[in-house]
DNA sequence: CAGGCGTGGTT
DNA sequence: TAACCAAGCCT
């Protein structure tokens, strides 16, 4: 890395030591961590790291426990169907992670004798394992010296060294700073988790608790009074609103119609309530009927489903119809009590909730 | 490289 | 309440 450290090597080593001491005292006791310096199961580290991508510890907790109970080993997970994995992942979001998780488990079994490779470079070749996750697994599970850089690390480095260049351009410089603080292999895993804990609990995006920070005396961002404003980020573009009409088809025996979405793209591989395409221009019912999964007397359901995805807001109106037992449509008919056994993302469970609630009130 | 890709908690 | 944000990856 081109940047010359602004801190002397002895200062950097002292900072690393202070952080490790802080971590030994204050580090969180999380389900995927092991105590006493033992090496954790690479499968558990990988599973937790993939779930934690852009997702909070609190949200991950129950999903991690459920996955580990149902699939205790990478071999067990590789033996599962993709649909079972997607169903277990439903509600966690970023469903490409679940597809890659499944593909990665199978790759480990088929190409690595059922054991995760133990180098950063080899890990990086696995589906869904990018630069961050490969470094994290190498350091935490295999005791390798790897420079682990996630959003927490970027924020902490930007503040500690008062680097004002905005993301994402500043990534390279931030990684160089992280490298300068990363200790030898034996402690790299603890160090990585320590910086991330620091970022998650003290050096938070807003209202950082600088007074409690083990690096408070050295932090240039704090000294200059701009810690909270770092790292600089480009403003996000406004989210458009897209609209659609969903078709709640209910058979005489109570079963409702679901269908599977395309394997790639938004909610790829997940189940859905059939609907029109989602577009900014509002739909009329007459116009929407061309997209209905079957011909019926569709009646508006009072209320509206709102949901926000990463890059757009969604507003769905719902229409419902009763159809005969012999009704034919592309998809699967599912009893309401069994909806929980299908891979329904949150946007879809909101449609289910609206339709069933209006039906009860009736 | 920029943009697609979920969701729930916090402010 | 609307906006912001989280232990990123892929194309």
CA distances to A128, A137, A166, A186, A308 from A143, in Å: 21, 9, 32, 6, 40
- The separation between the first and the last C-alpha atoms of chain A, rounded to the nearest angstrom, is 66
Residue, of A1 and A169, whose pLDDT is higher: A169
CA of A46 to C1' of C6 (A): 18
Segment A93-137, tens digit of pLDDT? 999 999 999 999 999 999 999 999 999 999 999 999 999 999 999
A193 touches strand C (CB under 7 A): yes
A229 touches strand B (CB under 7 A): no
Q: Which fold has domain A9-229?
A: Endonuclease III; domain 1 (1.10.340)
Q: pLDDT (tens digit, 9 = 90+) per residue, A243-255?
A: 999 999 999 999 9
Dump pLDDT digits (tens) for A161-220.
Answer: 999 998 888 999 999 999 999 999 999 999 999 999 999 999 999 999 999 999 999 999
With a cut of 70, say whether residue A229 has pLDDT above it: yes
Q: Within window 161-220 on A, which residues have Cβ closer than 7 Å to strand B?
A: 168, 206-207
Fold entry, domain A241-360: Nucleoside Triphosphate Pyrophosphohydrolase (3.90.79)
- pLDDT above 70 as % of chain A: 98
Give Cα separations from A297 to A161, A248, A294 (angstroms).
Answer: 65, 11, 10
Per-residue model confidence (pLDDT) at position A321:
98
Report the pLDDT value the prediction gives residue A362, as an integer from 0 to 100: 55
Arithmetic mean of pLDDT, A226-243 = 91
Catalytic residue among A49, A120, A250, A272: A49
Q: Which nucleotide is nearest to A239 (CA to C1')?
A: C3
Letter string b/e over residues A293-313, b meaning 16 or more CB atoms within 10 A of that residue's CB: bbebebeebeeebebeeeeee
Mean pLDDT over the full length of chain A: 95
A49 catalytic residue (yes or no): yes
CATH 3.90.79.10 in chain A is located at 241-360
Q: What is the pLDDT of residue A360?
A: 66
Question: Which residue has its C-alpha nearest to nucleotide C5's C1'?
Answer: A205
Nearest nucleotide (C1') to alpha carbon of A33: C7
Q: Nearest to residue A171, comparing CAs of A234, A100, A126, A122? A: A234
User: Is the C-alpha dihedral spanning A342, A268, A239, A169 positive or negative?
Assistant: positive
Q: Residue A83: helix, strand or coil by DSSP?
A: helix
Chain B nucleotides reached by a protein CB under 7 Å? 1-9, 11
* Residue A134 CB in 7 A reach of strand C: yes
* CB of A275 within 7 Å of some strand C atom: no
pTM of the predicted model over 0.75: yes
- Is the predicted pLDDT of residue A1 greater than 50, yes or no? no
Which nt sits closest to A349, CA to C1'? B7
- Give the integer Cα–Cα distance in Å for A193 and A208: 18
Q: What residue ranges of chain A are covered by domains with CATH 1.10.340.30?
A: 9-229
């Amino acid at each position: 890395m081109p940047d010359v450290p602004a801190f002397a090597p002895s200062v950097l080593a002292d900072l690393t030591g202070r952080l490790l001491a802080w971590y030994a005292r204050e580090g969180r006791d999380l389900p995927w961590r092991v105590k006493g310096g033992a090496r954790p199961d690479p499968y558990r580290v990988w599973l937790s790291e993939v779930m934690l991508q852009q997702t909070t510890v609190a949200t991950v907790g129950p999903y991690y426990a459920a996955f580990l109970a149902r699939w205790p080993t990478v071999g067990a997970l590789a033996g599962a169907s993709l649909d079972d994995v997607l169903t277990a992942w439903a509600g966690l979001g970023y469903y490409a992670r679940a597809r890659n998780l499944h593909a990665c488990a199978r790759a480990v079994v088929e190409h690595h004798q059922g054991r995760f490779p133990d180098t950063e470079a080899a890990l990086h070749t696995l589906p869904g394992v990018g630069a961050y996750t490969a470094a994290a697994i190498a350091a935490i599970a295999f005791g390798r010296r790897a420079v682990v850089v996630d959003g927490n690390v970027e924020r902490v480095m930007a503040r500690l060294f008062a680097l004002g260049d905005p993301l994402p351009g500043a990534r390279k410089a931030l990684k160089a700073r992280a490298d300068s603080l990363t200790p030898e292999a034996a402690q790299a895993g603890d160090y990585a988790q320590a910086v991330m804990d620091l970022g998650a609990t003290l050096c938070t995006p807003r209202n950082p608790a600088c007074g409690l920070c083990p690096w408070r005396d050295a932090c240039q961002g704090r000294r200059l009074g701009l810690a909270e404003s770092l790292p600089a980020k480009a403003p996000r573009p406004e989210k458009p609103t897209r609209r659609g009409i969903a078709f709640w088809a209910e058979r005489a025996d109570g079963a409702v119609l679901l269908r599977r979405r395309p394997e790639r793209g938004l909610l790829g591989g997940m189940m859905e309530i059939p609907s029109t395409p989602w577009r900014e221009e509002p739909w009329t019912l007459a116009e929407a009927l061309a997209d209905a999964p079957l011909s019926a007397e569709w009646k508006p359901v009072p209320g509206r489903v709102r949901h926000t995805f990463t890059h757009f807001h969604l507003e769905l109106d719902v229409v419902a119809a009763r159809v005969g037992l012999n009704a034919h449509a592309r998809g699967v008919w599912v009893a309401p009590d069994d909806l929980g056994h299908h891979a329904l993302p949150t946007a879809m469970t909101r449609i289910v909730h609206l339709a069933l609630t209006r039906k009860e009130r009736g």
